[in-house]
C-alpha cells in the first residue's frame, strides 16, 4: 500500500486481485483495474509531487505464470488516479520476457522529472529518467532483486 505524498488519506494498493484506490484513508476502496492487462501483480509507486500519477507492473496470474502479459514487459502509468492507464514499453523487452518484479522492487526518486526504477527476479535493473516514457537496462546479471531503493543527494 502506498500513501500519496501531500494528500490526506489518499492510498493506492496493488495485490493479487487488482489495483485499488482509497480516498478516505482505507475505509473504502475503489477498483481501478479498468484498462490494465491483468488484475494480478506486485509493485505500485506514487509520484512524489503529483498524487494522481502512479506506476504499476501487472503480471499474469498464477495459472498463466508470474510474468508480463504476452511475455512483453510494460510499466503502466496513470496520470488521473487510475481512471485511465498508459503502457510504457520503450526500451523494455518485448519478446520472450518471463521475469517477475516483486512488491518492493520498484522505486521512484524525487527529481523534477521523476526517475522510476525496477529490478527483476532475473537480476536486471531498469531505469527511466523521464517518468517512464523511456527505459534502459542499467545493470544485469545480479541475483534476484528483492528490493530497490533510491538514494539522493
Here the CATH number for the domain that contains residue 88 is 2.130.10.10
Q: β-pairing, 136-139 with 116-119?
A: unpaired
In a domain, 147, yes or no: no
Boundaries of domain holding 16: 2-139
The reply to whether the predicted model has a pTM over 0.75 is yes
In a domain, 144, yes or no: no
Residue 91 φ/ψ, nearest 5 degrees: 95, -5
C-alpha gyration radius of the chain: 14
How many domains does the structure of the chain reveal? Answer: 1
Per-residue pLDDT of the chain (153 residues; tens, 9 = 90+): 666 676 678 999 998 889 999 999 999 999 999 999 999 988 999 999 999 999 999 999 877 889 999 999 999 999 999 999 999 999 999 999 999 999 999 999 999 999 999 999 999 999 999 999 999 999 999 999 999 999 987
In a domain, 11, yes or no: yes
In a domain, 148, yes or no: no
Q: Say if residues 23 and 37 touch (Cβ distance below 8 Å).
A: no
> What does the block give as the cell for 151?
538514494
Amino acid at each position: 500500500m502506498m500513501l500519496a505524498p501531500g494528500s490526506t488519506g489518499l492510498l493506492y494498493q496493488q495485490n493479487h486481485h487488482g489495483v485499488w484506490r482509497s480516498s478516505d484513508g482505507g475505509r473504502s476502496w475503489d477498483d481501478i483495474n479498468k484498462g490494465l492487462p491483468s488484475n494480478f501483480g506486485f509493485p505500485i509507486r506514487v509520484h512524489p509531487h503529483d498524487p494522481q500519477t502512479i506506476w504499476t507492473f501487472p503480471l499474469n496470474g498464477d495459472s498463466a505464470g508470474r510474468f508480463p502479459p504476452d511475455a512483453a514487459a510494460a510499466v503502466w502509468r496513470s496520470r488521473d488516479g487510475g481512471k485511465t492507464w498508459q503502457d510504457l514499453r520503450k526500451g523494455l523487452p518485448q519478446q520472450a520476457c518471463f521475469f517477475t518484479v516483486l512488491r518492493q522492487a520498484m522505486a521512484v526518486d524525487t527529481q523534477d522529472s521523476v526517475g522510476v526504477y525496477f529490478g527483476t527476479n532475473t537480476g536486471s535493473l531498469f531505469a527511466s529518467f523521464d517518468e517512464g516514457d523511456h527505459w534502459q537496462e542499467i545493470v544485469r546479471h545480479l541475483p534476484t532483486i528483492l528490493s530497490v531503493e533510491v538514494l539522493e543527494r
